[in-house]
Amino acid sequence: MNDLNTAPATPDIAKKLGLLPEEFYHITQILGRIPNFTELSVFSVMWSEHCSYKNSIRWLKQLPKKGKNVLAEAGEENAGMIGIGNDLAVCFKIESHNHPSAVEPYQGAATGVGGIHRDIFTMGARPIAALNSLRFGDLSSPKTQKLLRGVVKGIGDYGNSFGVPTVGGEVYFDPCYNTNPLVNAMSVGIVDVNKTVSAIAEGVGNPVFIVGSATGKDGIHGATFASQDISENSAEQLPAIQVGDPFFEKLLLEASLELIETGAVVGMQDMGAAGIACSSSETSAKGKVGMDLWLDQVPMRQANMQPFEILLSESQERMLVIVHQGRESEVLNVFHKWDLPCVQIGVVTDTLNIRYFWHGELVGDIPAESLVLGGGAPIYERDFAEPAYLEHVKHFNPFDVHEPELLLPVLLKLLSEPSIASKKWVTAQYDSTVGAAAMSHHVPMECAVVHIKGTEKSLALSVDCNSRYVQANPRKGCALAVAEAARNIVCGGGTPLGITNCLNFGNPYNPEVYWQFKESILGMKDACEAFGIPVTGGNVSFYNQSEEGPVFPTPTIGMVGLIENTLTQTMSNHFKNVGDLIYLLGNPVEDIGCSAYVYHYHHIKFSPAPYLDLEEEYRLQQFVLQLIEKQPIHSAKDVSDGGLLVALCESAFPNQLGFAVYNPLEKVRNDFFFFGEAGGRVIVSVHPDHKEHFEHLLSSKEFPFLLIGQVTAENIEIEGRESLSISEARTVYESALPKYLER
């Protein structure tokens, strides 16, 4: 035994492991003695921000957790779970893999996908869909191009091989992400509510198994690394990167679901951040039991591994399974059938402590409760202060913005912006039909729609966040992210059920960053309470920061909705027929704040977040759902990034149709009307024979609307004085990414 493992640790060692002096002292108080290196290593990862949420939990507790049919609230299980009828529930969660992807994009993204799927199937659910939210820097930079290629290939290769379709997501570009890209992965699964499994250890004497891949030295202190700023030296500081094996994980999925059917499982937990250390302590603390672990029994793929390395390894495709005593043979038989390693490495005890043994010698003894969120892990209230840059936002005057004589050149500029342009180069690398579920409609949707086999139902899925809005006003910007996600679900015909979030921010010890975080949480709370949507969980990713400063605050919202009848209630966003009338629903607010028009065309970096009225937004969404149910509309498309003209183009491109539109508001500037990004607006198309009936319906509800034009055969026409072929606009839209990436 190396003396390092059992010798008393020091404050200097604690500092090198990322622990504060007061945290080291707190650990000595918990243990009643000085910890050894093995114990201190466990505390260092479990008390890292990535695992403990020590800088964020105070604010996260303010988010609404309760909701209709919520079966697993935030913090209760590996993922949120909401009942959808037919004895079925949807499990869903989103998490970040930002830091690993910044230095090793392919494996960083691939293992992020693998990890989030394990969170779903350890609950007994079968993953049926994956989504992602990606942020990169300036696309003209070779570094950004390399990161994008690696991340997209990692996501595609893992998801395609694992057999779960990648059905949706978003990709944004901004120089603030040059050093620190964001890679957020979301998984959605379906489970029989009578066959769910909890991440819990219970029953003194019950055996504890490790199943899946052998344990190596990859990812050790990965959770600690994820709780540090990115720097030029990060590649050298990163622990040996985890390497994913999607084919192995597919076997693990099938074996796990088969094992659950036997009834032999007490509890099951994925091994993600902090590996065995995290899974054993979390399951034990939840069950209010202890656990003895025999680390020398853990299957290892590298020689001379030390106890702390075994505990902290983040090797992929592994799970901890607690089994009913006497049913060990059933577990072994299932995993042997699938040719997967399955070894007993411990036993549940009544000590309330996790005890680590190495060839019979006790090398660590820690109260399980002291390691977990809500137990002994520290909780901090950080200082916050409004960022100084917001003074520039306050000085913005929209009427100082020069009004262009022609709008089509502006439109083409926006369509060529990588954040707005077609993401076909990305999505072509994802298989959207592989596996257990397929897209209900192979047509453009405001959200992904995935049919639930054996039912008439479908899930409507969306991932949204415009970080430009959040940078300008975190509270309103995050509320806008929730609103857009809900609007997208609704435009697809779904009723929002719940959200999961991935909160990407800079260093929480920076008061201005922490203010952005706090305000974003309040904005999410505002919107979720206004819409009656619960938050079922998610992930906090701090330290997305480099020498150049923090990334834009990016609270990504993953939302799940339900379409009760796929055939009659699903709506697409594309125009169907020449001659259909085009209406704009919602309050026509004169607002260009934070628009792509202002940011990319006029290069004005500071302006207020767009207009949002949550009551108006909710009313709009409910009204759109009624229109879809009554079927007087042919399409529904929300207005968001790029404004009205971009939304019209995205509705026109799929069927190569055109549109002729005008601004019916005489006192509103054309550029404000066509490029503003105020919230709470949707464009719909209606057959001309239904004009009188449709307008009467809107008027009877006193709902604001404008007739703004008509679907045409092939051209874009604005105000009867500007014209462009739809094919030319589409070419600009679809060539923006390939011109950087296909050379």
Average pLDDT value over all residues in the chain: 93
The catalytically annotated residue of 26, 50, 99, 600 is 50
Q: Tell me, what's the pLDDT at 223?
A: 44
- Pairing mode, strands 182-192 and 88-96: antiparallel
**CA–CA gap between residue 137 and residue 173 (Å, rounded):** 5
Order of strands, edge to edge, in the sheet holding 581-585?
635-638, 682-686, 581-585, 705-712, 658-661, 715-718, 722-725
Where are the chain's structural domains?
A: 1-65+198-381
pLDDT tens by residue, 566-618: 999 999 999 999 999 999 999 999 999 999 999 999 999 999 999 999 999 99
Say if residues 349 and 291 touch (Cβ distance below 8 Å).
Answer: yes
Non-local (6+) Cβ contacts of 504 within 8 A are: 96, 98, 135, 182, 184, 541, 544, 551, 553, 554, 555, 556
Instruction: Report the predicted TM-score, pTM, of the whole model to 2 decimal places.
Output: 0.95
Q: Tell me, what's the pLDDT at 225?
A: 41
Say if residues 254 and 338 touch (Cβ distance below 8 Å).
Answer: yes
- Mean pLDDT, residues 329-339: 97
Non-local (6+) Cβ contacts of 478 within 8 A are: 465, 470, 519, 520, 521, 522, 523, 524, 527, 555, 557
Q: Is 50 tagged catalytic?
A: yes
The catalytically annotated residue of 26, 97, 99, 451 is 97
**Backbone phi, psi, residue 503, to 5°:** -95, 100
Considering the domain delimited by 1-65+198-381, tell me its CATH architecture: Alpha-Beta Complex (3.90)
pLDDT tens by residue, 398-413: 999 999 999 999 999 9
Q: Is 117 tagged catalytic?
A: no
Q: Tell me, what's the pLDDT at 226?
A: 43
Per-residue pLDDT band for 134 (boundaries 50, 70, 90) equals: very high
Q: Tell me, what's the pLDDT at 2?
A: 53
Count of alpha carbons within 13 Å of 80, Cβ hemisphere only? 33
Say if residues 488 and 205 touch (Cβ distance below 8 Å).
Answer: no
Per-residue pLDDT band for 272 (boundaries 50, 70, 90) equals: confident
Cβ atoms within 10 A of the Cβ of 146, count? 11
Query: 440 pLDDT exceeds 50?
Result: no
Query: 364 pLDDT exceeds 50?
Result: yes
pLDDT tens by residue, 150-197: 999 999 999 999 999 999 999 999 999 999 999 999 999 999 999 999
Query: 90 pLDDT exceeds 50?
Result: yes
Cβ atoms within 10 A of the Cβ of 232, count? 9
Say if residues 661 and 695 touch (Cβ distance below 8 Å).
Answer: no
**CA–CA gap between residue 176 and residue 178 (Å, rounded):** 6
- Mean pLDDT, residues 119-138: 97
Q: What percent of the chain has pLDDT over 70?
A: 95
Say if residues 188 and 450 touch (Cβ distance below 8 Å).
Answer: yes
Non-local (6+) Cβ contacts of 376 within 8 A are: 26, 30, 367, 369, 370
Say if residues 198 and 124 touch (Cβ distance below 8 Å).
Answer: no
Q: Tell me, what's the pLDDT at 548?
A: 87
